[in-house]
Amino acid sequence: MSSPMLVKSKLSCQPRFDFRDHRAIVTGGSRGIGRAIADALGEAGAQVYAFDVGEPERMESFPHRFVRIDIADTDAVKAAIAEFPQPPTLLVNNAGITRDRSIAKMSDADWAAVLNVNLTGAFLCIRAVVQQMAKDDYGRIVNVASTAGLTGYAYVTAYCAAKHGLIGLTRALARELAHTGVTVNAVCPGYTDTDIVAEAVGNIATKTGRTPEQALKELTVHNPQGRLVRPEEVAETVGWLCLPSSASITGQSIVVAGGELM
């Protein structure tokens, strides 16, 4: 199997990724950041399997292999991986949900749901592929965490706890696999132009009486660039971490947030 390479585009002279002969799993791959990652890896030649609990909005135009799955279901994850004709070489744990409310109003079910998708789901997918990656002496695991995994935000306690846990998992697993050709890293986007952020803007506007524009400004005020991150920017960072030339980068949390955390 050929390793992915960094090649130059003839049109733009910008670096392009080449992931031909590689199989990539992208959880939460049907929309938002996950869709951008799936598209970037697919355009670079990878065979992409988008794991998601819901179908893409336009299934007929979705260019990747779609697997409807609850990644917090151990048996479902095992069964899905067993169906692969060849083992996956790239795993991007991107699936995530949030429940925005104060800790006093957080139900047991909401707490469990957030941790199950954001943290346990990543663990289950990693466990299903990591032995083969280590045996093959090549693999790239990228966990899409968040700036919420590095700092705290009010009213998203479960999300912050899960993302902090995901970064801890990243660091521990990177040490465990350091003697192999498998790297494990996290990407930590700030507020990104996705459905989750659109929902957060709507919640702020509803609860505070502010306009959506005012609510959005509140979310971007701590970003020195004064804007939302673009999903494609996160995807480019993920692609870079998957390259063979990134072999010495492991156990890291790469912040993509316009300078929000320095």
Q: How many Å apart are CA 259 and CA 262, to the nearest integer?
A: 6
Q: How many Å apart are CA 55 and CA 72, to the nearest integer?
A: 17
* Domain residue limits, the chain: 5-191+230-256
- Asked if 159 and 99 count as a contact pair (C-beta separation under 8 A), the reply is yes
pLDDT per residue rounded down to tens, the chain (262 residues): 444 443 333 333 344 689 999 999 999 999 999 999 999 999 999 999 999 998 887 788 899 999 999 999 999 999 999 999 999 999 999 999 999 889 999 999 999 999 999 999 999 999 999 999 999 999 999 999 999 999 999 989 999 999 999 999 999 999 999 999 999 999 999 999 888 788 878 877 888 888 888 888 888 888 999 999 999 999 999 999 999 999 999 999 999 999 999 9
Helix, strand, or coil here: 33? helix
Phi, psi of 83 (to 5 degrees): -80, -10
> Quick one: angle between helices 157-176 and 121-136, nearest 10?
10
Residues catalogued as catalytic: 159
What pLDDT does 7 receive?
Answer: 37
What pLDDT does 30 receive?
Answer: 94
∠ CA 44-66-187, nearest 5°, is 55
- Asked if 21 and 88 count as a contact pair (C-beta separation under 8 A), the reply is no
Q: Where are the beta strands (DSSP E) in the chain?
A: 5-8, 15-18, 23-27, 47-52, 65-68, 90-93, 139-144, 182-189, 253-256
Q: Which residues pair with 196 in a beta bridge?
A: none
Which residues are within 8 A (CB) of 172 and not within 5 positions of it... i.e. 6 or more apart? none
CATH classification for the domain delimited by 5-191+230-256, as one of 3.20.20.300, 3.40.50.720, 3.90.190.20, 2.40.10.10: 3.40.50.720
pTM beyond 0.85, yes or no: yes
Q: How many Å apart are CA 30 and CA 146, to the nearest integer?
A: 19
Q: How many Å apart are CA 91 and CA 26, to the nearest integer?
A: 6
